[in-house]
Amino acid sequence: MPWFAVRVASIAGAVAALYLLSGLLTATIEAYVLQVLVQCGIYAILAVSLNLINGITGQFSIGHAGFFAVGAYVGAAWTMLWQPHAVRVTSALAMGTPAGDALNLLIACALGMAAASLAGAAVGLPSLRLRGDHLAIVTLGFGEVIRVLLLNIDAVGGARGLSGIPTLASTGDLAVFWVFLFLVLVIAVSRNLMNTTRGLTWLAVREDEVAADAMGVNTTRVKVTAFVLGSAFAGAAGVLYAHIMTGISPDVFGIDTSIIITTMVVLGGTGSVTGATLAAFLLVALPEMLRFMKDYRLVIFSTLLVLLMLTRPHGILGTRELGYATLFRRRQTGSPGTR
Amino acid sequence: MKVLLSARGITKRFGGLAAVSGLNLDVREGELLGLIGPNGAGKTTVFNLLTGVYPPTEGHVEFDGRRLRRMRPYQAAHLGIARTFQNIRLFRRLSALDNVRVAAHVRTTAGFWSCLLRTAHAMRNDAVLTEKARALLGALDLTSVAAAPAGDLPYGVQRRLEIARALATDAKLLLLDEPAAGMNPAEKQELMELIHAIRRDFSVTVLLIEHDMRVVMGICERIYVLDYGQVIAEGRPERIRSDPRVIAAYLGEESEPC
């Protein structure tokens, strides 16, 4: 299978390039800027993953921080609570070496993604009956349920949360690498989907559910798949967050976090993958850039947001995508929001 | 002629109201069948029952030799029943081409994971579906608007696009819900020719609901007349035109002055 060999080679090349680039960035950029960049990356993963549910499939969800939390706690539970037991069974899981750390981080990610996608399926099911603002309320409630549950589970520290989470391979110069690896992955998944007719059926569910159903689209499956896929990546973002910040507590995953992620999707332009990515970078970096304003920082930030929505009511990119196609080709066939 | 779809004793009640009661209907393969009746006679409800939007309260439907039970609309599309809507329901922000591609996806052979991984098979399959959608746009004279968002198209073009979209599912039976609604006489004439052409070129059976008698009488080979959820007459257009029960249903019966 030639396409397979080409695909594997190009992916390996891209990963290697990303690794080298992140090493270069880490060596040249000051620590504070790097920290902001990592935060930008984590929020971009969250925004692009919510875009799968909210922007592309049109299921208005404002509880994304809940999936973020599930991933963070399950991932941290692996490295802090379960790994010490598992390492006694096989020493291959020992931490401390780069390979062992990477393996543990990947296991934590797998567990965090699995747990978050289960939660996603559980929230996706009501979406079969609920639409628009009704669904929004259910997802909002879900986010709060997760937060309150975490507050009351003593095994994960209750209100204090978990601290002293091992940094694993995500420490120092590898934080940028892991975060951007997952960001590239979620963007690739979104774009691959959007470049096929299967992705179009997801957009069709957003545009008109009744018509999509009549045209042979299994709307139930599309909606649940969107929730599962979107929350899995939010879970991965959670695992990375836990192992980079080394401390998590329930209040990190409150309503305001959900709202900011939803804002990124709306601001980027509903359905636009690159729009969501851009908006995430903007919304994380802008408050940092405004630090010189001191107390007026958040006032200015909010004002800028309002101004942006007034001037671009359909988001920064609308339903378009930014890429070599839009940058270098003047015209293209196909729908806005599909290329 | 082979019977493609038959409905036996179909009843649909909404609470105390029987929108359709004890309906028997046969659609023969290849025919152009009309379903008419005064407002509120239950015509669209019949369409919704045939496409699985509502399950019938009583009775059953057989399609292509298979008995349908507890069917969802997307399953009807997979079986080969496609429809258009009375109030046009296009995917407004998607291009005309993509509207048709969505429907063509019913016949996809690529799974979810192979789409995510962009396997050679998924890409080839996609090219085939897109080509099919383009060919359909060409057949319905829509090539010039392929890239335009469906919601921006003129009304008559939207109606035609909805038909193209329904055909893309490889339907054996095409249900058209008031295709001529809101059209001017010239457009109606074009539509009648289009429906004839579609039936010929795509070897599809057509069942249509229509209010415009000139359209119905002009193209349908056989007509069912529905009133208060029941079939009151069935037959060739010239027979329907002179049927006293049909005239009574449309114009009202003479009654004693009060």
Q: What is the pLDDT of residues B140-197, one digit of tens each?
A: 999 999 999 999 999 889 999 999 999 999 999 999 999 988 888 888 888 899 999 9
Of the residues B44, B70, B94, B174, the best mutation for testing chain A's interface (the one with the most A CB atoms within 10 Å of its CB) is B94
Q: Would the pLDDT of A89 be above 90?
A: no
- 3-class DSSP state for residue A173? coil
Q: Would the pLDDT of A329 be above 80?
A: no
Q: Would the pLDDT of A228 be above 50?
A: yes
Split at pLDDT 50, 70, 90, the class of A307 is confident
Q: How many CB atoms lie within 10 A of CB A225?
A: 21
- What is the pTM assigned to this prediction? 0.88
Q: Would the pLDDT of B205 be above 60?
A: yes
Split at pLDDT 50, 70, 90, the class of A325 is low
Rounded CA separation B29/B1 (Å) = 7
Mean pLDDT of A161-171: 74
Q: With CB atoms and an 8 Å threshold, state whether B74 touches A198.
A: no
Rounded CA separation A184/A330 (Å) = 26
Q: Would the pLDDT of A179 be above 70?
A: yes
Question: For B18, what's the count of Cα atoms within 13 Å in the CB-facing half-sphere?
Answer: 13
Q: Would the pLDDT of A323 be above 70?
A: no
- 3-class DSSP state for residue B82? strand
Split at pLDDT 50, 70, 90, the class of A337 is very low
Instruction: At A318, list the tokens.
Output: 């609308």
Buried b (16+ CB within 10 A) or exposed e, A115-149: bbbbbbeebbeebeebeeeebbebbbebbbebbee
Q: In the A/B pair of chains, how many CB contacts fall below 8 A?
A: 127
| Distance in Å, alpha carbon of A87 to nearest chain B alpha carbon | 33
Q: With CB atoms and an 8 Å threshold, state whether A196 touches B102.
A: no
Rounded CA separation A308/A263 (Å) = 12
Give every CB contact of residue A171 below 8 A, 6+ residues apart in sequence.
none
Rounded CA separation B49/B13 (Å) = 11
Contacts B122 to A, Cβ<8 Å: 196
The residues of A whose Cβ lies within 8 A of any Cβ of B are: 1, 3-4, 7, 189, 192-193, 195-201, 203-204, 207-208, 210-219, 225, 319, 332-338
**For tokens 């295709």, what's the residue?**
B179
Contacts A205 to B, Cβ<8 Å: none
Q: Which has more confidence, A193 or A97?
A: A193
Q: Which has more confidence, B116 or A212?
A: A212
Q: Classify the phi-psi angles of A335: left when phi > 0, otherwise alpha if psi is within -120 to 50, otherwise beta.
A: beta
